[in-house]
Each structure stands twice: as structure tokens, then as C-alpha cells.
Structure 1
């Protein structure tokens, strides 16, 4: 006879003769409840001593689940599986991502390209670097650090110019100009020719000046103006009066 404990639902299997001897009163081995095995109702606790104590031999064990049928039919003539000579993946191959062997080469190539780009920029700006870092000058014994000088006075372009009364002398004028070297190579500071003109465009005053006369402090004799570099011209001269209405500047 199959019964269940009304409290913990533990299943048991008991023979009818054993139940007749105790009038159907049993006690669960799991929770200790005294109950009537026939009706399934809890019994009187006073019947505990005469109740049949259910043990592990009477407990029903869960039966293993029946194998699930496959959702498809297997052919009866399916050949048996054969062993293969291919080696299976080990634990490192199956659990861990293998590092790419080409990654170090990519890193090395990137470093080389960055170094080449830096060298190219340094070579293009070598004149500026030599001016700011004179300690690099010994390298020019082995490398042609000094680019070929050009002499293109027309490549000097006046970006801004002005004539105003001098601050130190009321009878003088101050001429200032901002000039850029637009040539592809470095040039030495040019001589300049400043001309004051009247209403008819005739020259009233013309003066030729060397770099040491129009820049302060005077630059070194070997000073070079790099491509794109800007320098300032500033000089004082005697005021010619109202007859001077214009001026012209030429680079020589």
C-alpha cells in the first residue's frame, strides 16, 4: 500500500498486514507526525507509542526518469563512430584566447613609422631647431643640416607697416613694418631701401639700410630667416614735413 505523510509528503510503501497490527496508525520518520495511513488524517499524539514507526526501508525512492525520445528517427544502418587521428584541442586552446603572433610586428612597424615621421618633421624644421638648440650644430659635420641659402628679395612680403611720430624726438618719424619670408628656403636678412614720396610720386628722401641698422638688437652676421618666419623693421628718420605724402620700401 502506498501512503504519503500529510505534513512533509514523504511517500512510503507498507504491507497491509503491518497496518492491521497497528490499526493503520503510523509515524513519519522524517517529521515525526502520527497519522492514519488509511484516511491520511493526522492522528492523536497519544497514539505515538503504539504507532508503527516508518523507516527508510518503507520510504519510496524516486524512480529515474525515463530517457527522452529523440525528436527525430535514427537510421538503423547508421555506421559506428570511428576514431580520428586529429589531435583534440587542449584546455589552453579551448578556454583561452591565443595571442596573435603578428601583434608585436604591428607594434614595431607603428614605432618605426612614428620615428620616421618625427625625423621628417625635424629635418624640415632643422633651421629652427639649430637656432634654438645650438648643441645640435656638431651633427652638421656629418649631415647637410644647413639648407641651401636662397636670395629672393621679392619673397620678403610686408604684412603690416606704419609711420608715426617718434616718441623721443618731435621732429622725427618712426617707420615700422612686419615682414615675412615667403621663400621655400632660408634667407639672410636683406638690405632695405626706404623712399619718401611727394604727391607726384617723386622721391624726396631715399635711404639704404643694412640689417644692423633697422633691427634692435643687431642680429648675428650669419642669422638666417627661415621659411615663413616673421621679423620686424623699425627705424627713425627726420620728418620732411607735409610735402611727403607716401613712402615705398624695397628689399635688396
Structure 2
């Protein structure tokens, strides 16, 4: 705007003395009007110039204020960016350290897990071995129990055999006693044949009573054949005694 005002020419009418002198009273009025118009034009120009200056100063002040605020904002942004960068770098360092720590922990954990897995495999192997040993031990115990049962049965059979042997030994002793009794009876019969009748009969009766008591005692034995033989022997002896008694009674009658 200032350049435009400088370049634009101002037309001011020039008055000479001749013109002034030849002016009429109406011309004074026109002159006054012209002076007023000049004054008003100058005032307007001055006001415009003043406004332009005020506008320029205001714009300069606004520009300076805007620049200051912009610089301040820029400084704050730079500071914020710097602090943010520092924080970001610090956080990045922390994150890197944390990532490294996590990686180390993962590696350690992986190693520990592998160790635990190996230990689990070893434990599983030991458990399988123990189960196998337990099965083997259980089988051996079962076999030993079977052997013990067989041995107990054999021992029972041996005990039964021992008892049978004892019974047979007792029966043999009784048979020997019976043989002794039979021998005595035979001698008594022989004595009867030699006519020693009273003593022989008494001896035979005593032997018969003794033999009957022995037979009654041996009646509880399990050997049926021996009992049958003894009964036959007793019957034969009884028949012989009866025969001898009959003979003795017949002789006493004569």
C-alpha cells in the first residue's frame, strides 16, 4: 500500500497572484472549499498512513508473538521429543535387557525342562524295572508258596507215615506179645497133653483173658487185615481150648 501511494501522483491546483486577485467573493468560497477538500484529503491520507503504520506494527507484533509462541512450542516439542526419545531409548534398552533376560530364562527353562524330561524318562525306566522285578518277585513268591504247600503236604504225608509206622510198631509189639501168649498157650496145651490139666486150664484161661484184653486194646487200630488174622487165631485158640475142656470133662467122668 505504501508503494502505491508513492507512485500515485497528487494533483494540487496551483494558484497565482493574478488568479487570486481576479477572484470574486464567490471565488473565495470556492477557495475555501478547495482548502477544506485539501485538508480533508490530507487528513484522510494521514489517517490512512497512520492506520497502515498501526496495521504494520500490529502485524509485526502479531508475527513476533506468533513467532515467539511458535518457537516456544517448537522448543517444547523439541524438549518433549528429546525427553520422549530418551525415554524411548531407555525403554528400548530396558526392553532389550528384558528380552535378553526372558531369552536367558527361556533357555534356562528349556534346559531345566530337558533335564526334567530326562529325569522323567529315567524314573519311568526305573518304575518299569521295579514293576518287572515286582512281577518276578511275585512269581518267585508264588512258586515258593507252591513249594511250601508241596513241602507241607509231604510233611503231612511223612507225619502220617510216621504215625502209621508208630501204629505198626505198636501192633508188632502187640503181635509179639500175642505170639508170646500163643507160645504160652501152646505150652499149656502141651502140658494138657501131658495130663497136667488143672494148671494148664488155669494158665490157658489167664492167657485167654490177657489175649482178649490185648485184642480189645488193639480194636481201635486201622489195620483190618491184622485184626482179622488175630480174630482167626483167637477163634482157633478158643476152639482148641473148648476141645481141651471137653476132653478134660470127659476124662473126669470116667
Q: Tell which structure's C-alpha radius of gyration is larger.
A: 2
By the TM > 0.5 criterion, same fold?
Answer: no
User: Higher relative contact order by CA 8 Å / sep ≥ 6: 1 or 2?
Assistant: 1
Give the structure with the higher percent helix. Answer: 2
Task: Point out the structure with the larger strand share.
Answer: 1
